[in-house]
Amino acid sequence: MPSYTYKAFDGRGAIVQGRAEASSKADMMAQARRQNLRIISAEETAASGSLWNRDFKFGGRPKQKHVVDFVRELATLTDAGLTIDRALRLAEQHAPRALRPHLTAVIEAVIAGSSFSQALSRHRDVFSHDVIEVIGAGEKTRAFPTVLRNLAASLERRNAIRQRLVSAMVYPIMLVLMSLGAITVVLTVLVPALTPLFDDPALQPPPLIRFVSAVNTTFAQFWPILLGGTVLVGIGLVALFRQTVVRGWLARRLLRAPLFGPIMIGVEAGRLCRVLGTLVSADVSLPAAIAAARTIPKNPVFREAVEEAGRRMVEGARLSQSLHLLQPYMPVILNLIATGEQVNRVGEILLHAADMQESESQNRIERLMSLLVPLLTAGMGLMIGGLVFSVMSAILSVNDLATAR
């Protein structure tokens, strides 16, 4: 039976930690309620006998999971009526070692008079832009615990998608690395060892050996020029891509690219709708929600569209009209938003659109990974097979010539 560790409020309002066995997380929560415990956070405990599942802590940068647990715990504490400084102190006591120093600094800043979001903004290496902006907009409302709870759910969902993507990429990356290692050994060890066998003018070296010999000769003679040219080209490309016009052009091309374009659109649209829906559902005004979401998009096209939407909403335009620059990329979502505006359910519609986009993006990523693995396997197999065939042909040609003599 699975085992769960939890943190909860007891009947006196104190925080307690414990472990319980239950058939599911919902069953464990029900057991806690029967014991008059109010769960703050709970997670399944990995088997202690498995070395790979143990959580070794060496400090360093906090994990995204630590931030999610902190935001969820803070939502529960503030929902119970605690002030933000008291809630932060309680959360600090049970925070992981890597996160604790950052929370200590945040508490000191809040006590000194800074707002919670201002204190978090000094630790952007731990708390992302969307976390800071959403908290900054949410702390101005009466539904701050709801904002925190929705934010924690959003971060947890995003972290789960990221973990699935990382897990799916392990095998392709290992396949590419092993294939590149095999190709490197063939080109740098085996082929140069065979080159002296073709010094005889009567022997015509195979194309592979001629190519490798030409590359080695060129690099040996002109390596300063090649190295300098590579550095200059790299510097030129970096300077080029720092230009706003170039970045915008490239971003638009990437959004229209097959396979990868829909994934990028889905991720950006899902993140934007999630933030806007979380804030609007907590009674944050649409102009304030747009202002908080202006730094959320990573893609320049989406960022420009959100900034334009902020300007148009100040002039009195609706949200669906303000986001007109995104019409080519997410027309269905804009139609949903327009419908939500007609029935006064914009927040609910935005959260529904976020769920839809995140689910579609996850499905697209999984389909892409399922397509990528066999293509990589076939491509690397053909490449290595071609190299081995060329080397074996060279060896056999030398053997045939020796037999003929």
Is the four-CA dihedral 142, 144, 149, 153 of positive or negative sign? positive
CB atoms within 10 A of CB 110: 19
φ/ψ of 327, rounded to 5, equals -55, -40
The pLDDT of residue 60: 62
Residue 13 confidence (pLDDT): 65
Output the tens digit of pLDDT for each of the chain's 405 residues.
677 787 777 766 667 777 777 777 777 777 777 777 777 777 776 544 444 444 444 446 788 888 888 988 888 888 888 888 888 888 888 788 888 889 999 998 888 888 898 999 888 888 888 888 888 888 887 788 888 888 888 888 888 878 878 887 888 888 889 888 888 888 788 778 777 777 766 667 777 778 878 888 888 888 889 899 999 999 999 998 888 888 888 888 888 888 888 988 998 999 899 889 888 888 888 888 898 888 888 888 999 999 999 999 888 889 999 999 999 999 999 999 999 999 989 989 999 999 899 889 888 888 888 888 888 888 888 888 888 887 787 777 766 655 655
Residue 331 corresponds to which tokens in the numbers above?
Answer: 């027309």
Residue whose C-alpha is closest to residue 275's, from 168, 397, 129: 129
- CA 37 – CA 13 distance, rounded (Å): 9
Q: Would you state the torsion angle of the CA atoms of residues 26, 29, 31, 33, taken in this order, to the nearest 10 degrees?
A: -140
Q: 281 near 348, Cβ under 8 Å?
A: yes
What pLDDT is recorded for position 50? 43
**CA neighbours within 13 Å on the CB side: how many for 30?**
6
DSSP string of 189-223? IIHHHHGGGG-STT----HHHHHHHHHHHHHHHHH
The span from the CA of 42 to the CA of 29, in Å, is 9
Over its C-alpha atoms, the chain yields an Rg (Å, rounded) of: 29
* C-alpha–C-alpha distance, residues 127 and 106, integer Å: 11
Distance of CA 63 to the CA centre of its chain: 13
DSSP string, 53-109: G------SSPPHHHHHHHHHHHHHHHHTT--HHHHHHHHHHTS-TTTHHHHHHHHHH
* The residue to which tokens 């914009």 are assigned: 346
Structure confidence at residue 1 (pLDDT) = 64
Give yes or no for a contact between 126 and 62, defined as CB atoms under 8 angstroms apart: yes
Cβ atoms of 194 and 206 within 8 Å: the answer is no
φ, ψ (nearest 5 deg) of residue 3: -115, 140
What pLDDT, on the 0 to 100 scale, is given for residue 39? 75
Predicted pLDDT of residue 379: 87
Distance CA 183, CA 206 (A): 17
pTM of the full structure: 0.69
